[in-house]
Amino acid sequence: MWRRISALVVPTILAIGIIGYMLYQVRESLPDALKLVRPEFLVIAILVCILSWFLRGVRYQVILQGLSLSITTVYATACILVSQTANLIVPARLGDLVRIFILKDEKKATYSQGLSSLVVERVFDVVMVAILGLISVRFVFNVPGWFYTLITVPLVGGGIFFLLLYLMGMLQSDNRYIAMILTMLHEVRQASLSARSLGFLSLSSIGIWLLDVAVCLVVIEMFQLSVPLAVVILAIAIGNLVKAVPLTPGGIGTYEAALAITFSLTGLSMVSATLIAIIDHLVKNAVTLIGGIISIYFFGSWVVTLMRRALKVKMGEDGSRG
């Protein structure tokens, strides 16, 4: 019981603690900074964020097509939004399990296909945002050494992963568990390693992250501030690479801290850096949450049951259906 409770409570407390500490540090300057806000830019940021979600839906649709699963762009986008909404509520990316169950129950996909689609999506997300970070870091001064480590590790890992996919061919095994892993790797290769899919998934992933950068640029403009483009790209890259380590639900707290640290490299005041980081993530999470709620109505209330089921599986309870 304690293990199940702590798995939810501790990450949530950590997220609240980080955000609370950041705001406490700049509490005296907050009123003056908020006076500069131009709310009309908030609408623009929301619209750009919505566009990025539909681009994610298009990319996921193509990934599933590579696995011989046919769905519409709206269905793919809704599928992602439901899973990401779950990730905002519970830690360790539990929402990913929800997506696998949705595909299993509605599209008769195998668990292997669902997991393979997630692997492809995650690999391209992490590798492409790391590439953007590698490009932008060359134009930013006084970068901490751990930035380079954070960027290099996923690039090396991604390179090794794609090399493994290329070299593995059609390996087979009589061992049940090894055979399951090989099946998943074959599906990942099928969905991502052809010239067409590799090109589309790479370009669409870059486009998704550039839209993420655009949201942040609009938030910066909302505060009537100016931050070099390279710094904004680097901040988004570092923030999302940090968020990829699921320490808190949705990376809340760790993402904001990474963005604020990066913005401060340009001499931006800590109050401005903190507000930009928090509002940027707030906009993205709010769009995700609202989109997730709409998507639950799109699928039906049974998705809530699937979310509970995913939580039970992750907590070590019986995940079988009643």
- pLDDT given for residue 77 in this prediction: 96
pLDDT of residue 322: 37
**Tell me, what's the pLDDT at 139?**
95
Buried b (16+ CB within 10 A) or exposed e, 172-190: eeeeeeeeeebbbbbbbbb
Question: Looking at residue 180, what is its pLDDT?
Answer: 78
pLDDT one-digit tens code per residue, 221-278 = 999 899 999 999 999 999 999 998 878 888 889 999 999 999 998 889 999 999 999 9
Q: How far apart are CA 255 and CA 240, in angstroms?
A: 7
What's the pLDDT score for residue 6?
55
Query: In one letter, which amino acid is 302?
Result: W
Asked whether residue 279 carries a pLDDT value surpassing 70, the answer given is yes
**Predicted local confidence at residue 313, as pLDDT:** 55
Of 216, 243, 270, nearest to 24 by C-alpha is 270
The predicted pLDDT at position 318 comes to 42
Q: Looking at the whole model, is its pTM more than 0.75?
A: yes
Q: What is the pLDDT of residues 81-129, one digit of tens each?
A: 999 988 887 766 777 888 888 898 888 898 889 999 999 999 999 999 9
Phi and psi at 163, nearest 5°, equal: -65, -40
Number of alpha carbons in the 13 Å side-chain half-sphere of residue 206: 9
* pLDDT higher than 70, residue 315: no
- Cα–Cα distance, 123 to 32 (Å, whole number): 42
| pLDDT, tens only, 31-53 | 766 777 788 999 999 999 999 99
Distance CA 223, CA 106 (A): 44
pLDDT exceeds cutoff 50 at 60 = yes
Residues 118 and 90 sit within 8 Å (Cβ to Cβ): no
Q: Give residue 10's pLDDT.
A: 63
Instruction: Choose among 307, 229, 318, 315: nearest CA to 9.
Output: 315
Per-residue pLDDT of 171-224, as tens digits, reads 666 677 777 788 888 888 888 877 788 999 999 999 999 999 999 999 999 998
Give domain limits for the chain. 39-312
In this predicted structure, the answer to whether residue 5 has a pLDDT above a threshold of 60 is no
Query: How high does pLDDT run on average in the chain?
Result: 86
- Phi, psi (deg, nearest 5) at residue 285: -70, -35
Residue 68 per-residue DSSP state: T
